[in-house]
Structure 1
Amino acid sequence: MKISLPIFITCILAVSIAGCNTDSIYQDEQYKTLVYLLSGSENVFATSYTLNEEEPVRYVSVGCGGSNSNEQEITVTLEPNPAMLDEFNSLNYNYQSEYAKLLPADRYEIESYTVTLPASSDYHYVRMPVKVRPLGLSPDSIYFIPLKIKSVSRYDVNEDKSDVLFRVAIENDYAEQLVPTYYAKSGTMTNPITVLSGTKLVQPLEKDKVRMFIGNETYGNTTTVADIERLSVVVQILEDNTLVVTPYGDSMEVEMLDNVNGYNRYVPELLQGTTRQRVFYLNYRFRLKKSDGTFNVWREVEERLIRIED
């Protein structure tokens, strides 16, 4: 069967046009400008606020993606999105007591929920300031500010990155919440004599205060609020780096001791060979309250804690 030349040429042109259309669609998708909120897995963006300041500032990042930079200025407005936190909790936790918490409104300030991405900028994002008052936040709780894109002046929104769970964690010079801080412990306790070894979780409370368990008690998945209040002490670092140990809850009494020369102090830069270590030296005694209101015997503690660095 013979095919006429005109029909053959028409077929070739049709295939070529179809291919061009496909390429055009692919390029449009590839170079398309999409507005998004910067986040990681499950659209969480975690940041740490220092307890050294009353109202530190961190940022939510609003970006635009695509191979081409945005040729026009983009105005983006965000708004709170509490439903996002509800969904996150239902997917990640079995019990309400484990739920992440909405950061109370009186704990943070966002002066403006609207930001502007300049046209043809070398930077494909802009930052929205979030001021937080971290003093009093618990190291045992996970706090979020859930946000979503309310509107954009032009271009489309990346629907997969249209919202963010902005996590607020706390830190000071001695411990962090976001990346748990551990110290290597060594020492002894009396009544009965106990060797202290292993690692100890140290958590930030205030600018100059941290919390830790007594002795060899450990923090785990089954640890309750009652356990924390009963078995924890607060260590305060004074301006001269001397230390004061006090009970965290009301189920313990604590008294400072001076049995070991040079203890009850914090050394921020102990030189060991070629490395510098951050070390707590603790000497105190404690006794725990029994269910009838009386106290157990005093237990004396001599403990050295060396921060485990990354």
Structure 2
Amino acid sequence: MKIIIKTVFLMMLGILFTFCSSYDFDQEQYKKEINLLSNSELVYDRQVANLKSSGDTIFIMASLSGSIPSDEAYNVGIMESDSLFHAYNKSNFDIEKDRYARKLPEECFVIPNMDMQIPAGQSQVKFPVYLQNLDKLSPDSIYVLDYKIDPEKTPFVNPKKQEVLLRLFFENEFATTQQNTFYNYTSSSVLTLDLNSPMVKRPTNANQVFPLNENSVRMLAGDETFDEYKTGLDKINKRSIMVTIGDKTPQNPLARFVTIEPYKTLDVVQMTPFEVYNN
């Protein structure tokens, strides 16, 4: 009886090994598909470009899915698109077209290579986007890039993640468009711009600032406010100043030389630094 049981057990064990050797374990692994890195809404908004005069670099990132590393390289091609660009504006702003996001102007970026390769054993490749002339952009506008995978140059594309909308943010040492930046200040005196009843004030306020270029920010003069967005642009142009931050002062390394100029049409006269109002 024991001999019979042992024989049956060995036969079953042999059959099990036969099944295991013929079973394709690869079918249990996640499929190898190429996709563009984005969030659930196909937007990638985690890169902030520096406004330095020499330019900056951001990336469009393509990745390869799968449970185990690939033993072969995968070609990836990208091409410009606009479907997510239009969908983003429609879903966020509907008929308010003056608030629509804008595509980054061609003079402000270069993508040197639209065809790259994910090397064997790796899971991603980065397409560099070289940014330039960023001081020509408005800090009040939303800028995006819309790109998708080129199916003719890329095998095994994930159809749900084949396109990405890059939402661009900008920053310098003193402010960023990724989040609100406020400066506290105290002025000696301010004459309000109301021609009917001008008033002299000495406002102490927290004013929102916006990066313009490597060393400059924009803010509303005095205690002016933007009010309703439809009239905001006119107030920005008429009532804003540009503050350029220079080198550190030799007397106080915590202080910087500052130049105050009109942003657009506001008349500005910078007074000689005096006592507590020494720049």
Please name the residue that 1:5 is paired with: none
SS in structure 2 at match of 1:76: strand
CA distance change for structure 1 residues 187 and 262 in 2, over 3 Å: closer, same or farther? closer
Alignment partners' CA distance in 2, 1:203 and 1:195 = 23
Alignment partners' CA distance in 2, 1:73 and 1:153 = 13
SS in structure 1 at match of 2:84: helix
> 2:210 matched to 1:203?
yes
Deviations 1:126-156 (A, max 9, x none): 1110001112111011111100001376652
Alignment partner for residue 249 of structure 1, among 236, 258, 264? 264
Please name the residue that 1:235 is paired with: 243
Please name the residue that 1:278 is paired with: none
Alignment partners' CA distance in 1, 2:270 and 2:79 = 50
> 2:277 matched to 1:258?
no
SS in structure 1 at match of 2:146: strand
How far off its partner does 1:217 sit? 2.3
Equivalent position amino acid for 1:218 in 2: T
Deviations 1:238-281 (A, max 9, x none): 2342111111121x21111236425353xxxxxxxxxxxxxxxx
> 2:50 matched to 1:50?
yes
Alignment partners' CA distance in 2, 1:89 and 1:211 = 26
RMSD over aligned Cα atoms: 2.6
Native 8 Å contact 1:201 1:219 kept in 2:
no
Alignment partners' CA distance in 2, 1:201 and 1:80 = 35
User: Which structure 1 segments of 5+ residues have no match?
Assistant: 1-19, 266-310
How far off its partner does 1:233 sit? 0.5
How far off its partner does 1:37 sit? 0.8
CA distance change for structure 1 residues 38 and 220 in 2, over 3 Å: closer, same or farther? farther
SS in structure 2 at match of 1:230: helix
User: Which structure 2 segments of 5+ residues have no match?
Assistant: 1-19, 192-198, 249-255
Structure 2 matches for 1:93-112, cutoff 5 A?
Answer: 93-94=93-94, 95-112=96-113
Q: What is the TM-score when the length of structure 2 is the normalising length? A: 0.77
Alignment partners' CA distance in 2, 1:166 and 1:203 = 21
Equivalent position amino acid for 1:217 in 2: E
CA distance change for structure 1 residues 203 and 39 in 2, over 3 Å: closer, same or farther? same
Alignment partners' CA distance in 2, 1:89 and 1:59 = 23
Q: What is the TM-score when the length of structure 1 is the normalising length? A: 0.70
Alignment partners' CA distance in 2, 1:30 and 1:230 = 61
> 2:225 matched to 1:218?
yes
Native 8 Å contact 2:190 2:202 kept in 1:
no
CA distance change for structure 1 residues 246 and 159 in 2, over 3 Å: closer, same or farther? same
Equivalent position amino acid for 2:112 in 1: E
Alignment partners' CA distance in 1, 2:245 and 2:59 = 30
Query: Percentage identity across aligned positions?
Result: 28
More strand by share: 1
CA distance change for structure 1 residues 264 and 244 in 2, over 3 Å: closer, same or farther? farther
Aligned residues: 240
Please name the residue that 2:27 is paired with: 28
Alignment partners' CA distance in 1, 2:228 and 2:78 = 36
Please name the residue that 2:140 is paired with: 140
Native 8 Å contact 1:189 1:195 kept in 2:
yes
> 2:128 matched to 1:129?
yes
